[in-house]
Structure 1
Amino acid sequence: MAIPLADLTRMPDPQRVEVGDDGVSLAAYSWGDLDAPMVVLVHGFASSTRDTWVLTGWARMLEREGYRVLGIDLRGHGASEKPHGVGGCTVRNMASDVESVLDTFLVDEAFYVGYSLGARVGWEVVQDLGDRIPRAVLGGVPDGIPLEHLDVEQVRRYIADATPVTDDRTRSYLDLTERVPGNDLEALLALALGLRDSRSIDPDPAHAPQQPVLFATGADDAVLEGSRHLASAAPQSTFFEIPGRHHFNAPGSKQFRMAALEFLRR
């Protein structure tokens, strides 16, 4: 008998964790046996744990394979608090947020799986916690300033009076934002502005993760070559080009899921 879709995508109740100097409340979700090996899942910009990892089958697959799964809604996303101020919205702070959640859950060791912004944050986390993150999957990781190509003025006009957005990349991000229930466009704009101020910590190939990392990026993704460049700097990296996928639909690829699962099993 087929399992009803509602059962496959049911979310556990969020557990609240206050992080950072500003005390932002994050939502975290846990699946699986408490004593099983841990996998931490961190989503991309304008997405959520549910959108990136539950609706696409990742959380269920990992739990079925015997892992304990911990999903984190980044600040400004999902069921986490959505501040409208730019302060605190940097890659460095978001990496510290993830580390605080791991500490709160008393996680001594975990695999890390991040996509897009979650992968960019993961680039920092896996280096900060090298002894606690033995293996990581970084999907669609951008090699420059996050959301550098977002036309902020067009977004502001869209928020103010619904002026149509003509820039294709910006329109794609808005489409994603409006597709995910509960998104707050003003909070996400503040986040985008904060991330663009993170210029001093662009991912530096000279300081790449030293543990095994699977880099995976869609064949039709604009960041493909940048992701390859970052992967080439990591001494124990593997690169997987996700066939027929662009940046916004790569997490739904079964081939991506299987490649990640094989990598984590090693």
Structure 2
Amino acid sequence: MTGVDLQFVDGFGGAKLAVHRTGPSSGRPLVLLHGLFSSAEVNWIKYGNATVLAERGFQLFMPDLRAHGASDAPHDPAAYPADVLVEDLRLTIAALGLADYDLGGFSLGSRTSVRGVLAGLRPRRLVLGGMGLSGLAGWERRSAHFVGAIDRFGTIERGDPAFVAQAFMKTMKVDRVAARLLLGSVDDTPPEALAGITMPTLCVCGAQDHDNGSAPELAAALPDGTYAETPGNHMSSVTFKEMGRAIADFLES
């Protein structure tokens, strides 16, 4: 695989957003979004799924979401209007000059991808990783869990349901002020809205990943949904190359 290049584009309000790029320049463009508190490096690059996809001929564009990775993490509440990640995604795709592309995400990246399509983005195919039907509609509950982890950061003991989130924030050196603001900008997607997701869509999820509800149920609720099971839980599934292979198989089918 060729190396990973880094460029920056302007997001909402002029925030600088990092985009990691790899794969053949002539390859089919694939935009991949990472999950909450993570980064393109951890979700896609570090454990080899970007390599799997690049070797299958895809040209990958992997943004760091605002308040994550190498992207800006402003502390001004005005930098986090409703669905700011969707606007960032729209501006990123425009800045990259992509017209015919595929789009995918993991967890928060899946939420953002769905809401991006509902807001008018038109990828040829869509990939939703680590996401189930109830997870799209139940953001308020999930968000409250993570806000609680931020507010109690440093005091959460092993055995507490928020302990894993605290540990991951420590590992990723998350800017907790920015992350808390970002959590408030994400909105629910009710099941009836899924009728607007008309392109072929893969719901790929670890066999032990139930954090965002049932991926098979999500696939069944979509107009053209397909389910693929891979190893792992919500934290570990991105470490298995089976995820990259499942994505490549779907996009090539």
Q: TM-score range by the shorter chain?
A: 0.7 to 0.9
CA distance in 2, matches of 1:170, 1:88: 27
User: In structure 1, how many angstroms separate the alpha carbons of the residues matched to 2:161 and 2:114?
Assistant: 24
Amino acid in structure 2 at the alignment position of 1:211 = M
Which residue number in structure 1 is paired with residue 222 of structure 2? 234
1:134 aligns with 124
Aligned with residue 257 of structure 1, among 236, 244, 251 = 244
Quote the Cα distance in structure 1 between the aligned partners of 2:59 and 2:155: 45
Matched, 1:26 2:17: yes
Say yes or no: does 1:210 pair with 2:204. no
Match for residue 170 of structure 1? 162
Aligned residues: 246
Mapped contact 1:149–1:169 kept (Cα < 8 A): no
| 8 Å contact from structure 2 (residues 37, 169) kept in 1 | yes
Map Cα deviations across residues 215-237 of structure 1 (whole Å, 9 max, x no partner). Answer: 01222223364433332221110
Gaps in structure 1 of 5+ consecutive residues: 1-7
Work out which of the residue numbers 66, 69, 78 in structure 2 matches 1:78.
69
Q: What SS class does the counterpart of residue 234 from structure 2 fall into?
A: coil
Q: 41-50 vs 256-265, which deviates more? A: 256-265
Give, as a single letter, the amino acid of the residue that structure 2 aligns with 1:205. Answer: P
- Extract unaligned runs of 5+ from structure 2: none
Q: Which residue matches 1:248? A: 235
| Pairs within 5 Å for 1:2-41 | 11-12=4-5, 14-20=6-12, 22-41=13-32
1:227-258 Cα offsets, whole Å, 9 max, x none, are: 33332221110012334x21111111222222
- Number of the residue aligned with 2:143: 148
**Identical amino acids, percent of aligned pairs:** 27
> 1:257 is matched by which residue type in structure 2?
G
Q: Contact 2:209–2:233 (CA<8 Å) still a contact in 1?
A: yes
Q: How far apart in 2 are the matches of 1:92 and 1:63? A: 30
For residue 262 of structure 1, report the CA deviation from its aligned partner.
Answer: 0.6
Q: In the aligned structure 2, how far is the partner of 1:167 from the partner of 1:149? A: 18
Which protein, 1 or 2, shows the higher relative CO under an 8 Å CA cutoff with sep ≥ 6?
Answer: 2
